[in-house]
Structure 1
Amino acid sequence: MDKLLAWSILQQSGDKEGLKKLGEPDQDALNKLFGGPDEATLMKESIQVATNPKVEEKDKVIALENFEMLIENLDNANNIGNLGLWPELVKLLNSDVPDDLRIIVSGIIGTAVQNNPKSQEDFDKTNGGLESLIKIAESPKNQPLQLKSLYAISSYIRNYKPGFQEFEKLKGWNLIKLDSKDQKVDLRILSLISSILSNGLDDNLEKQFKDIKLIHYLASVLNLDSNTNLVDKSLNIISELHRLKYEFSLEETYEVDRGIQVVEGLSDKLNIDDLNGAKEATKKK
């Protein structure tokens, strides 16, 4: 420790000759003095633990949870690509990996790419990432895992056209199943639809929405008045469709208008801009 303190004093004074004579300090002692390894090193160590077949699952969970906390910082999220860690993370989505780990990894992906073009691009360059998430989201066997994978997909394709185009190629539309009878799943599906709309609206997309009777479903959510989060998200999508010049049919307009009348009493609990935007969609042209 005396040598370490001497090294610290010489380092601060800029005495290069003294540092040369003293030599390099012990790295473990140095880490203790300055608070341990940097966050990039911690990230790499966490993935090494999580991918080590000799490590117990509970320790892998801890390592991934620590990694998830680190990448809540934007710079650390971008370092996933800089450190070459995306391929290792994607491998942890494989079906032979325990679900507890895949849940955390899906959450890591969703957090890292959310509103983050750099991480979206880096994830896009990683083979099999989106395909694995879609396969997971197609299975309702483990709801927490399904929900996390839907969250990751939504975050990835939001405001990122290359991601949405890949989503379409991989038949991601098969995930859009409305009224699953599970409100948590329904909310994630609506978030996915919102992410799709963030990339714009064209004739093909409008046709797909009409084919799946999206407006009918959104209006039914309003008429049920059962879940404020679902109501809020439905109003948001209706408002966004109107902003993007979606052609509401007379029947769709009638259904939305009737639903709005039901939820207007909840206006103090809803996003007022989305409520007003949905109202605009029902006005006669």
Structure 2
Amino acid sequence: MEKLLHWSIANAEGDKEAISRAGQPDPKVLQQLFGGGPDEPALMKHAMIVISNPEADLENKLVAFDNFEMLIENLDNANNIENMKLWEPLIAILDDPEPQLRAFALSVIGTAVQNNEQSQNNFAKYDGALGKVVKIAGNSSEDINVRTKAFYTLSNLLRHNAGIYQQFNQLNGLQLIAPVLKYADANEKLKLRTMALLSTVLTVANMNAEFFALLRADNIIESTLEFLDPECNLYLIDRVLNFFSQLINGGFEFSEAELEKLKTGVKNIEAVEAQLNEDDYKTVKYVSK
């Protein structure tokens, strides 16, 4: 498999000398990949061998990760991660010193568990696995791309899975939200992923007084109100409006101080109203009158 990876990279770059050094790959492996009858579990296993090999160079590991992610976009292959005992080596990559590998591992996990309760639960049963992702997401010293992937992974792990949300809550996961939204060095993509996680939480949390109090205690209401500003990214404004709309429909009532900020925010974004989600905007505007 490593020989195939070297050959693939050399061909993609058109490097004749490198192609010559790599030699021709095993025809049987090529047949597996391109011949219409690939043994995909075997390819997954080979890719993980390369990824976990300390002697393999970074370029080959990234190619192997790319191949692995394409394979596990298939639901059966995603569920085979557990059957083939590949979760543990994949989770171990979250501790790798190379940020590109940590980012790829998070991306693969997020893809494998997306809309897939079986793989969500398979991942979450590994001791400390969810905690690793939460820790990465909350680490302000972490590479921004890695943190962004961590929020993507968390969103896909929690979506429609109350059990994993409970684990997330026990890890004080909601405390991740406000610091990122207020973090000056966080780019818009990271903030959007953070708001996506917050929206996902609303699909599994009980909309009750206890949950609303938790949102306030973790400064989530305060920090999201700050984005009702026409200078902000329009997608972020839309995400915030959707968040408030869901809360309102769930019975949330703004405090007097929050309501004053909401009124100011809604007035401020009137200039971009036509570019925002109409239903969410109307719901929030009605409450702010």
TM-score by length of 2: 0.80
Q: Which amino acid aligns with 1:53?
A: P
- Paired positions, count: 257
Displacement of 1:28 = 6.2
Q: CA deviation at 1:245?
A: 0.8
Structure 1 residues 29, 277: CA separation in 2 closer, same or farther (over 3 Å shift)?
A: closer
1:92 equivalent in alignment to 2:93: yes
Amino acid at match of 1:83: M
* Cα deviations by residue, 1:192-239 (Å, 9 ceiling, x for unpaired): 222222213232221121223433332221135321121011101000
Residue in 1 that maps onto 2:41:
40
Q: 2:134 & 2:34 partners in 1: Cα distance?
A: 46
Classify 1:191/1:244 alpha carbon distance in 2 versus 1 (closer, same or farther; 3 Å). Answer: same
Q: In the alignment, does 2:43 pair up with 1:51?
A: no
Q: From 217, 224, 242, give the equivalent of 1:218.
A: 224
1:158-177 aligned within 5 A: 158-176=159-177, 177=179
Per-residue CA deviations over 1:40-96 (Å, capped at 9, x if unaligned) read 2222211111112222221111100111122223333233223322122111111x4
Cα distance in structure 2, aligned partners of 1:40 and 1:79: 7
For 1:186, the aligned partner's letter is K
Deviation larger for 207-216 or 61-70: 207-216
Deviation at 1:267, TM superposition (A): 3.0
Give 2:18's aligned residue: none
Quick check: 1:113–1:155 contact (8 Å CA) kept in 2?
Answer: yes
Partner of 2:112: 112
Match of 1:124 in 2: 124
Higher mean C-alpha displacement, 264-273 vs 105-114: 264-273
Structure 1 unaligned spans of 5+: 1-25
Aligned match of 1:179 in 179, 182, 192? 182
Structure with greater Cα Rg = 1
Separation of aligned partners in 1, 2:287 and 2:163? 29
Q: Which runs of 5+ in 2 are unaligned?
A: 1-26
**Partner Cα separation in structure 2 for residue 30 and residue 161 of structure 1:** 43
Q: Is residue 229–residue 237 contact of structure 2 (8 Å, CA) maintained in 1?
A: no
Counterparts of 2:145 and 2:203, CA distance in 1: 25
Question: In 2, are the aligned partners of 1:239 and 1:278 still within 8 Å (CA)?
Answer: yes
Please tell me whether residue 243 in structure 1 is matched to residue 244 in structure 2. Answer: no
Match of 1:260 among 261, 266, 286: 266
Task: Provide the residue aligned with 1:10 in structure 2.
Answer: none
Q: Is the 8 A contact 1:187 1:229 kept in 2?
A: yes
Q: Greater shift after overlay, 50-59 or 167-176?
A: 167-176
> 2:204 — aligned with what?
199
Cα drift, residue 158 of structure 1: 2.1
For residues 102 and 59 of structure 2, the distance between their equivalents in structure 1, rounded to whole angstroms, comes to 13
- Within-5 A mapping of 1:66-77: 66-77=67-78
Amino acid at match of 2:183: S
Q: Deviations over 1:120-154 (max 9, x none)?
A: 11111222211111221222331111111121112
Sequence identity of aligned pairs in percent? 35
Give the letter for the 1:134 counterpart. V
Cα distance in 2, alignment partners of residues 41 and 157 from structure 1: 29
State the Cα RMSD in Å.
2.4
Contact 1:87 1:127 in 2 (8 A): no
